[in-house]
């Protein structure tokens, strides 16, 4: 085995950073976190989708598959750049405690103020960069800014409830919008430009500190999104532009009634006929933002769970085949190397596994899943393959400490202690799980920051099927103690995970055959 190909990273969404303004962003805390990753010899930072969020604040229920979330823009960096007076930041929610989604309107008002200052400033080099950005991204940017302005104009109602001339994108209505709301549209363009500049700076800092970024592409998009409003022909809608069936998953580990996500399903035949152009554009955009890409709900590319839109639960759904092989072949032809990780959790069939292996994507192994009956042992390290990404848990799991204390059965607890030995206190299970994941043969290991910090269930990020109370966890400003970094760095050396290989871990494909081991 080429040990330089073994790496480790940390899962942390940007909103979980202790930033000024009540929500994590791309400001000083993000750069400090990259320094922590570097000192801990972590070579990957995995984030959740960076898209603007709608109802429920879930990054997996985004208003756009292409735009950036304005709330991730750092007001401090805008002030440092001269687009806001520093005194305007006084009185903002502090950089501690849970995410304050209620304060979002206050932050957005300051983003608008900064964008207005940008538009009114003398036109220099920064203006040329802005014009280049608008031209480069016009294929999605123009529709996004119209959607954002109209959504605000009509009281944040779903686009399907707007006046019909706007809901159906009548040319005369859109032309009137362009005439009457030119300034408001330009402000939205500038906000997206701010996002792009700050993300580019943060990504460059990551690369300078030997850290790559793994992004997350949610398989589906929100019905109330710029994507469905702009491309209704690409989705399975009825004559009134309403979904007949929606996405979800059948009953599983997380929910006895399944999960009715509510996302509209794709019109795969229409997508196939136009060469999957929407998907090509979406993945191209993701490859601009990230070094590696986790494909959420990978099994949905082989077959998806279609739920009647009128049903309250997902029990009565059915599996419908998807053209995953044709899609990935097209993406590979159009974009070349595909740095994908397949989120292959849930009910995985031989067909799903064959699709993943055909395109040489590593799958995911969740250590918390491995201690049930014997069928769960595929999640234990002694059965891993090299081309895999192992996690102690994900954003959908409880923290490892919370799982051990609150979610394990007596049988699971016995199995854990049979595997690792007896613990004298509860927190020891966390480091035992971390060591097992890092020492496994899997080429990539990802640890949620909550596990690195040994936090309990109060730090859980998301509980699937729970409609409220998710996505709000943030770590405290003083949480990244140097001892955590030293402990991780030592473990990386012992498990040969302190190297890196470019480009993008050679697309995360299977390792090359090695004649001898160094």
pLDDT in tens, 12-54: 999 999 999 999 999 999 999 999 999 999 999 999 999 999 8
Tokens of 85: 């007076």
Element (H, E) at 237: none
Question: Which of the 8 DSSP states describes residue 93?
Answer: P
Per DSSP, the three-state class of 459 is helix
Tokens of 351: 């067909």
pLDDT of residue 506: 53
Q: How far is the C-alpha of 31 from the C-alpha of 173, rounded, in Å? A: 44
Helix (H), strand (E) counts: the chain: 19, 12
pLDDT of residue 252: 76
Q: Is 502 labeled as catalytic in the residue annotation?
A: no
* Residue 512 or residue 376, greater confidence: 376
Single out the residue of 69, 59, 108, 1 nearest to residue 384, CA to CA: 1
Burial class (CB in 10 A: 0-12, 13-18, 19+), 81: middle
Single out the residue of 192, 171, 169 nearest to residue 63, CA to CA: 192
Q: Which of 2, 353, 396, 506 is catalytic?
A: 396
Write the pLDDT tens digit of every residue in 448-471.
999 999 999 999 999 987 878 899
Tokens of 418: 């049979």
pLDDT bucket at 105, cuts 50 / 70 / 90: confident
Strand 444-448 with 340-342, pairing:
unpaired
First vs last C-alpha separation in the chain: 8
Cβ proximity of 247 and 261 under 8 Å: yes
Q: How far is the C-alpha of 281 from the C-alpha of 305, rounded, in Å? A: 25
pLDDT of residue 4: 57
Q: How far is the C-alpha of 263 from the C-alpha of 222, rounded, in Å? A: 5
Q: Which of 296, 351, 353, 496 is catalytic?
A: 296
Q: How far is the C-alpha of 51 from the C-alpha of 58, rounded, in Å? A: 10
Write the pLDDT tens digit of every residue in 254-297.
688 888 989 999 999 999 999 999 999 999 999 999 999 999 99
Q: How far is the C-alpha of 296 from the C-alpha of 344, rounded, in Å? A: 8
Q: Beta-carbon neighbour count of residue 422 at 10 Å?
A: 8
Q: Is 252 labeled as catalytic in the residue annotation?
A: no
Q: Which of 25, 343, 412, 498 is catalytic?
A: 343
Q: How far is the C-alpha of 361 from the C-alpha of 341, rounded, in Å? A: 6
Cβ proximity of 236 and 246 under 8 Å: no
Q: How far is the C-alpha of 281 from the C-alpha of 387, rounded, in Å? A: 27
pLDDT bucket at 387, cuts 50 / 70 / 90: very high
* Whether residue 72 has pLDDT greater than 70: yes
Backbone φ and ψ of 346, nearest 5°: 95, -150
Q: How far is the C-alpha of 86 from the C-alpha of 76, rounded, in Å? A: 8
Q: Poorest-confidence range of 78-92, 135-149, 502-516?
A: 502-516
Single out the residue of 232, 225, 203, 86 nearest to residue 147, CA to CA: 225
pTM of the model: 0.94
């Amino acid at each position: 085995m080429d040990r330089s190909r073994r790496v480790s990273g940390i899962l942390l969404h940007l909103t979980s950073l202790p930033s000024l303004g009540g929500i994590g962003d791309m400001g000083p805390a993000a750069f400090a976190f990259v320094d922590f990753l570097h000192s801990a010899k972590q070579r990957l930072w995995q984030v959740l989708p960076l898209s603007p969020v709608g109802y429920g604040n879930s990054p997996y229920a985004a208003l756009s598959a292409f735009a950036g979330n304005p709330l991730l823009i750092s007001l401090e960096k805008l002030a440092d750049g001269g687009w806001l007076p520093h005194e305007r930041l006084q009185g903002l929610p502090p950089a501690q405690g849970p995410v304050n989604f209620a304060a979002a309107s206050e932050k957005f008002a300051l983003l608008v103020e900064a964008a207005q200052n940008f538009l009114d400033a003398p036109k220099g080099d920064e203006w040329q960069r802005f014009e280049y950005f608008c031209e480069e991204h016009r294929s999605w940017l123009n529709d996004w800014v119209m959607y954002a302005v109209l959504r605000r104009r009509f009281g944040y109602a779903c686009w399907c409830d707007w006046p019909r001339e706007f809901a159906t994108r009548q040319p005369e209505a859109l032309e009137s919008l362009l005439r009457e709301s030119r300034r408001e549209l330009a402000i939205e363009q500038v906000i997206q430009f701010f996002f792009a500049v700050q993300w580019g700076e943060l990504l460059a800092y990551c690369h300078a500190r030997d850290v790559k970024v793994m992004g997350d592409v949610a398989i589906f998009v929100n019905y109330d999104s710029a994507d469905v409003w702009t491309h209704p022909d690409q989705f399975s809608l009825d004559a009134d532009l309403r979904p007949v069936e929606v996405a979800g998953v059948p009953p599983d580990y997380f929910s006895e009634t399944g999960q009715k996500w509510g996302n509209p399903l794709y019109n795969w035949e229409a997508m196939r006929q136009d060469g999957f152009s929407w998907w090509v554009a979406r993945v191209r955009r993701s490859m601009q933002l990230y070094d590696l890409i986790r494909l959420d709900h990978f099994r949905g590319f082989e077959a998806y769970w279609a739920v009647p839109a009128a049903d309250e639960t997902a029990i009565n759904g059915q599996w419908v085949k998807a053209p995953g092989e044709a899609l990935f072949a097209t993406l590979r032809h159009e974009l070349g190397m595909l740095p994908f990780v397949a989120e292959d959790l849930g009910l995985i069939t031989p067909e799903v596994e064959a699709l993943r292996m055909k395109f040489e994507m590593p799958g995911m192994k969740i250590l918390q899943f491995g201690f049930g009956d014997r069928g769960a042992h595929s999640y234990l390290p002694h059965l891993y393959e090299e081309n895999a990404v192992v996690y102690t848990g994900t954003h959908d799991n409880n923290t490892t400490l919370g799982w051990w204390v609150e979610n394990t059965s007596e049988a699971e607890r016995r199995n854990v202690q049979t595997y690792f030995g007896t613990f004298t206190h509860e927190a020891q299970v966390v480091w035992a799980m971390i060591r097992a994941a890092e020492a496994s043969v899997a080429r990539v290991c990802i640890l949620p920051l909550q596990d690195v910090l040994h936090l309990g269930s109060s730090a859980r990020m998301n509980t699937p099927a729970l409609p409220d109370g998710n996505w709000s966890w943030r770590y405290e400003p003083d949480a990244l103690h140097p001892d955590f970094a030293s402990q991780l760095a030592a473990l990386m050396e012992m498990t040969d995970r302190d190297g890196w290989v470019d480009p993008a871990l050679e697309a995360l494909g299977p390792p090359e055959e090695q004649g001898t081991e160094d």
